[in-house]
Structures are given as C-alpha cells and as structure tokens.
C-alpha cells in the first residue's frame, strides 16, 4: 500500500469532468451504481471482482460490472478464498469524495438492500428457476446426475441467498438493513480480509 498510493481514483473524475456540475453528477452516479451493484453482488454471491471486471462509464461515471460467471459464493471455494462481500478497496472509497462510504454510498446501499429484502419473494422465484433449468456446473457436480441430485445442488446454492435476504449474517444473527450494510462495509474494507486475498485481485488498489 505505501508503494501504490490508494488515493488516486478521484483524479480520473477531475480530468474526465472538469466542469463542476458534470463532475458532481458523475460522482453521484458512481457512488449510487457502486452501492447498488455491491448489494446485488453480495446477495447473489458475485465474486472475481478484480480490477478488470469492474469498468466505469466515461460519459456518466456509472459503475459497470462484466464477467458475471462467478456466482453463488463460488469465490469462497477458490484455493485462496475470497474474504470480502464486494470490492470496496481504498482507491474505490477515495473516488467517493470526502464523505467516503458515509455519504451517497451508504444511503444508496441501504435503499438497495431494503428493496431486495422487501421483494425477496419475487427475487427468489426468479432464482428458483435454476432448480428447474439448472446451471451446467450444477449438472456436472457430483458423481450422480439424477434430477434429485441436481435439485439438491441448486437448493444448496440458493440457501445462502435466502439467508442474506432475511438479514441473517454469518454468525446467525438477524440484523436490520442499516446494521447489515454496516457489517458488509466493515468486511469489505477490512485490511485483514484484503491482505489475505489472492494477489491477482490487487486488493491494495
């Protein structure tokens, strides 16, 4: 971290949008879309969020995620498991401005999580379609490929999503939306968690 200064991302916004109102609009768009995708990514267990899989729109400032094939907490099963719920490194916090995570990011994250939790039945009905039309990975897992085994594998992958939408954290406690967001931000920005990540993930940036 001393070698790679983590406080340079804000300069991209200054260079790309030198006009004050455009700069502010792009920063707000960045903060809001970052929060929305962070909450959605957490619920769906989206991993592999290294620097090449998160892009930024040069016209609006929006956060754009690509390569969405690492779902259902698959990142936790890697040889070096992922330890953060989403990417929120120091450089990404730097671009949020002087308020950091305490401004538009936290508010947008709480609103996003509230919407996800309030509409959990609708979301789960969409995801449960995987039980009837399973992912190729679920069909290949295990020795047996019977419908019963595929359904069991699908249910096992969907269970953590249901828990997240109920506000159940890793220790088993059920928390409110603000408390859930607070815990996730702490996990995502924890130096201890980031230092244990795969080096290709570039957790210092």
pLDDT in tens, 77-126: 999 999 999 999 999 999 999 999 999 999 999 999 999 999 999 999 88
Q: Indicate which CATH number applies to the domain containing 189.
A: 1.10.1070.11
Residue 134: the pLDDT is 66
Assigned domain for 19 exists: yes
Nearest to 158 by CA among 198, 117, 195, 130: 130
Query: Does residue 79 sit within a domain?
Result: yes
Q: Cα angle vertex 122, ends 117, 126, to 5°?
A: 120
The pLDDT assigned to 27 comes to 96
Let me know if residue 77 belongs to a domain: yes
Instruction: Name which of 75, 99, 72 is nearest 87 in CA terms.
Output: 75
Domain-located, residue 2: no
205 occurs within a structural domain: no
**What domain count does the chain have?**
1
- Output the pLDDT for position 6: 66
Query: What would the pLDDT profile of 154-177 be if each residue is shown by its tens digit?
Result: 788 889 999 999 999 987 889 999
Q: Tell me the C-alpha distance between 11 and 18, whole Å.
A: 10
Residue 4 belongs to some domain of the structure: no
Please report the pLDDT score of residue 198 as a whole number. Answer: 93
Q: What angle do CA 160, 44, 86 make, to 5 degrees?
A: 105
- Greater confidence (54 vs 69) lies with 54
Residue with tokens 């919407």: 115
Q: Containing domain of residue 120, as a range?
A: 9-200
Candidates 27, 54, 162, 181; CA nearest to 112 is 181
Confidence of residue 8 (pLDDT cuts 50, 70, 90): confident
CB 169 within 8 A of CB 155: no
Q: In this structure, how many other beta carbons lie within 10 angstroms of the beta carbon of residue 156?
A: 12
* Residue 20, pLDDT score: 96
18-61: per-residue pLDDT in tens? 999 999 999 999 999 999 999 999 999 999 999 899 999 999 99
- The answer to whether residue 58 is domain-embedded is yes
């Amino acid at each position: 971290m001393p070698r790679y200064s983590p406080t340079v991302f804000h300069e991209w916004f200054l260079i790309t949008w030198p006009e004050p109102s455009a700069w502010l609009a792009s920063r707000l768009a960045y903060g809001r879309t970052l929060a929305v995708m962070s909450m959605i990514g957490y619920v769906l267990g989206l991993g592999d969020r290294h620097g090449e899989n998160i892009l930024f729109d040069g016209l609006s400032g929006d956060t754009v995620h690509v390569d969405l094939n690492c779902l259902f907490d698959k990142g936790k099963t890697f040889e070096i498991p992922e330890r953060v719920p989403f990417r929120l490194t120091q450089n990404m916090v730097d671009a949020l401005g002087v308020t950091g995570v305490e401004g538009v990011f936290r508010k947008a994250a709480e609103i996003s999580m509230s919407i996800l939790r309030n509409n959990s039945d609708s979301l789960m009905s969409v995801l449960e379609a995987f039980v009837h039309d399973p992912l190729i990975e679920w069909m290949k897992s295990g020795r047996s490929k019977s419908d019963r085994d595929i359904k069991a594998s699908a249910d096992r992958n969907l269970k953590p999503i249901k828990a997240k939408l109920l506000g159940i954290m890793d220790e088993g406690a059920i928390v409110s939306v603000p408390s859930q967001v607070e815990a996730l931000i702490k996990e995502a920005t924890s130096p201890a968690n980031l230092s244990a990540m795969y080096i290709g993930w570039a957790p210092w940036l």
